[in-house]
A = this chain, B = another copy of it.
Amino acid sequence: MLFQDITIVNQDFEIEKNMYVGVKSDKIVYVGKEKPKEDFGEIFDGNRKVLLPGFVNAHTHSPMTLLRGYAENLPLDRWLNEKVFPFEDRLNSERAYFGTMLSVAEMLASGTTSFSDMYFFQEGVMRGAKDSHAKINFSRSIVSFSDVNFFEDARVSEALEAVEKYHNTENGKIKVDMALHAEYTNTLSMIEQFGAYTKGKGLVNHIHVSETKSEHENCKKKYGKTPTQVFSDAGVLDSPTVFAHGIWLEESDREIIKNKGVTVVHCPASNLKLGSGICDTHTLSEMGINVAIGTDSASSNNGLDMLREMYLAALLPKGISGRADIMFPKEIIKMATVNGAKAQGRFDTGIIKEGYKADLTVIDMDKPNLYPDFDILSNIVYSAEKSDVVLTMVEGEVLYKNGEFTTVDVEKIGYEVSRIVREVVSEVQNG
Contact = CB atoms under 8 A, between A and B. Distances in A.
User: Which one of A369, A375, A378, A382 has the greatest number of beta carbons of chain B within 10 Å?
Assistant: A369
Contacts of A154: none
A385 B303 CA distance: 10
Majority SS at the chain A contact face: helix
Contact of A278 (B319, B326, B373): B319
Contacts of A368: 102, 105-106, 109, 410, 413-414
A318 interface: yes
A178 B9 CA distance: 45
Interface stretch (A23-31, A33-41, A251-259, A269-277): A269-277
User: Which one of A66, A76, A374 has the greatest number of beta carbons of chain B within 10 Å?
Assistant: A374
A281 B213 CA distance: 23
A91 interface: no
B69 A374 contact: yes
B324 A73 contact: yes
Interface in A268-321: 269, 271-278, 298, 301-305, 308, 311-312, 314-316, 318-319, 321
A69 B106 contact: no
A282 to B, nearest CB: 12
A274 B70 contact: no
A278 B312 CA distance: 13
- Which bucket holds chain A's interface residue count? 35 or more
A151 interface: no
A316 to B, nearest CB: 6
A366 B366 CA distance: 25
Contacts of A69: 372-376, 378-379, 382-383
B375 A70 contact: yes
Given A69-B378, A378-B69, A387-B387, A372 B315 contact: no
Interface in A81-109: 102, 105-106, 109
A196 interface: no
Integer count of this chain's copies in the complex = 2
A234 interface: no
Contact of A371 (B102, B323, B329): B102
Interface in A386-408: 386-387
Contacts of A72: 328-329, 375, 378
A325 interface: yes
A371 B68 contact: yes
B302 A272 contact: no
A19 interface: no
Given A66-B372, A324-B76, A368-B109, A273 B379 contact: no
B382 A301 contact: yes
Interface of A: 65-70, 72-76, 79, 102, 105-106, 109-110, 213, 269, 271-278, 298, 301-305, 308, 311-312, 314-316, 318-319, 321-326, 328-329, 366, 368-369, 371-376, 378-379, 382-383, 385-387, 410, 413-414, 417-418, 421
The 10 closest A-B pairs by CB, nearest first: A387-B387, A272-B319, A69-B375, A69-B374, A272-B315, A105-B368, A275-B324, A302-B382, A106-B368, A75-B324
